[in-house]
A = this chain, B = another copy of it.
Amino acid sequence: VIDKGVDFANYFCTYAFLYHQKEMLSDRVRMDAYYNAIFENKHHFRGKAVLDVGTGSGILAIWSAQAGARKVYAVEATKMSEHARELVKANNLQDVVEVIEGSMEDITLPEKVDVIISEWMGYFLLRESMFDSVISARDRWLKPTGVMYPSHARMWMAPIRSGLVDQKKSDYEGSMNDWLCFVNETKNYYGVDMSVLTKPFSEEQRKYYLQTSLWNNLHPHQVVGTAAIIKEIDCLTATVDDICEVRSNFSSSILIENTRLCGFGGWFDVHFRGRSDNPAQKEIELTTAPSIDSSTHWGQQVFLLHPPFRTSEGDDVNVSFLMNRSKENHRLMEVDLGCEIRQSSGKLLPLIKNKFYIE
């Protein structure tokens, strides 16, 4: 069971800031995708009832109304709802868009809807676990013929090279050197021997510097092997059980001569395809893959290997990936990542097991 107050303190509170909404509203790739998904598929909206799960500033609800919706229910858990209501009014859509403040899970609507639209994606797709709220909304409020926006989502992973591996290692070592000085001084000046805490401190710092996945905007050149899909979600049918755990075994071929395998980059894409019996007129894709000129505020999540490996074209990397929600906070993730290199010569390097935290 989730404590609502704690969930607010840990999660929702940031969404109550316009500053944070603005960051999302300034993400052109994100905005273009939703904008085009709506306005190039007006047939899904015209005269229809729409539910926007987590409306934030109200942007998707407003677009839905502008595309011809008869009624839009715009649900938002935080006080951002008040700004959304203002914005709706300023854009003269108060007769169509109804902003409702509350958790989606607690809300009752006066009717079922034809479309559920939501921007629920967190880092590496599932961080924040907000899709749970979309699933619950869908199961309670979507008509049997209803359409999900987006309709599909996928998680991707690929081997990468990155100087971050050296930087984080040196940050960690710096922190440990510092600690050892501190232990010495505390003994000399204050007569207390802290060395028994060296191990727990090093574990804490390893977790922080080496085992926490990093937000990063990867350059496509940093991807050194083939990318694999590790999860596919049909937003119309997926259950919480389906997304609670992500398990994948995949193999990637190194595509670059004599390079380093420093870790893995993870990203996602979503598609707006309507539903098979009521498809999109124009399918839209929103991808957060490494890109030179279309990067997003999601960037990629980077999982670093310490130490990195020397690797080369023709090598295969076999990866076992397992992601679960953190026990302390269901909106954060823990990842077990096993990795084994089969060199082009046929030689198999020893299996490496790593634990990561998506914080």
Contact = CB atoms under 8 A, between A and B. Distances in A.
Interface of A: 3, 5-6, 8-10, 17-19, 22, 25-26, 31, 35, 57, 59, 62-63, 66, 83, 86-87, 89-91, 179, 182, 186, 189-197, 200-201, 204-205, 208
Nearest to A19: B204
A232 B59 CA distance: 52
Given A6-B5, A9-B9, A193 B19 contact: no
Nearest to A89: B196
Nearest to A35: B190
A261 B305 CA distance: 53
Contacts of A190: 31, 35, 59, 63
A280 B18 CA distance: 53
B17 A204 contact: yes
Contacts of A193: 90-91
22 contacts: A3-B3, A5-B5, A6-B6, A6-B9, A9-B10, A18-B197, A18-B200, A18-B201, A18-B204, A19-B201, A22-B179, A22-B182, A31-B190, A35-B189, A83-B200, A86-B200, A87-B192, A87-B196, A87-B197, A89-B196, A90-B195, A91-B193
A208 B14 CA distance: 13
A282 B220 CA distance: 66
A191 B66 contact: yes
